[in-house]
């Protein structure tokens, strides 16, 4: 009878160890996720304050945190690449399609908004981006 009881106790110990390990894993994952969430909100707050300082409209804090996360998301994926520069320039046109499409003089605020995002989320790429946009013709084209 004692060997049967020892066998039963063994399974209780094994079960308890499995439960404790599972709880530790869940706790670690929860801590990591909460840390990432806190970091994304901290960066969102920093970006929103920079946008306010420069006179831009401010987006919703939760939306910024969800969209840009902790690493800037798609904004920080090689922002000075030829493809992204080309797409940015296409967006800075008169809105026509085909042969009627022409570049326009854009507001300096338009190209500087992305620089603010880069300064918060991926400051190491900011210099390359600013070199790419320095030849864009800008002016005060938007009235307040």
Each of the 144 residues of the chain gets a pLDDT tens digit; together they read: 566 666 677 878 888 888 888 888 887 777 666 655 788 889 999 999 999 999 899 889 888 888 888 888 888 888 888 888 788 878 888 878 888 888 888 888 878 888 899 999 999 988 988 888 887 888 777 665
pLDDT at 49: 94
Q: Are residues 50 and 88 in the same domain?
A: no
Determine which helix (DSSP H) or strand (DSSP E) holds 7, and give its type and residue range.
helix 2-53
pLDDT at 37: 78
pLDDT at 100: 86
Task: Please tell me whether the overall predicted TM-score, pTM, comes out greater than 0.95 for this model.
Answer: no
Domain count, the chain: 2
For residues 96, 99, 104, 110, the Cα torsion angle rounded to the nearest 10 degrees is 60
Q: Are residues 91 and 53 in the same domain?
A: no
Q: Are residues 82 and 138 in the same domain?
A: yes
Q: Are residues 44 and 19 in the same domain?
A: yes
Determine which helix (DSSP H) or strand (DSSP E) holds 106, and give its type and residue range.
strand 106-107
Q: Are residues 63 and 21 in the same domain?
A: yes
Q: Quick one: DSSP state of residue 95?
A: S
Give the separation between CA 124 and CA 128, rounded to whole angstroms: 8
Q: Are residues 43 and 31 in the same domain?
A: yes
pLDDT at 144: 52
User: Which residue range(s) make up the domain with 19?
Assistant: 1-70
């Amino acid at each position: 009878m004692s060997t049967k009881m020892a066998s039963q106790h063994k399974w209780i110990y094994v079960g308890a160890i499995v439960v404790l390990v599972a709880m530790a894993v869940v706790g670690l994952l929860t801590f990591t996720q909460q840390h990432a969430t806190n970091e994304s909100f901290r960066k969102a707050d920093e970006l929103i304050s920079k946008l306010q300082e420069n006179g831009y409209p401010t987006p919703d804090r939760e939306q910024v945190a969800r969209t840009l996360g902790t690493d800037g998301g798609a904004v920080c994926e090689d922002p000075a690449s030829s493809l992204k520069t080309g797409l940015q320039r296409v967006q800075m046109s008169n809105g026509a399609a085909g042969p009627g499409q022409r570049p326009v003089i854009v507001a300096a605020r338009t190209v500087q908004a992305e620089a603010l995002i880069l300064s918060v989320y991926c400051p190491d790429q900011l210099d390359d981006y600013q070199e790419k946009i320095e030849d864009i013709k800008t002016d005060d084209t938007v009235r307040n």
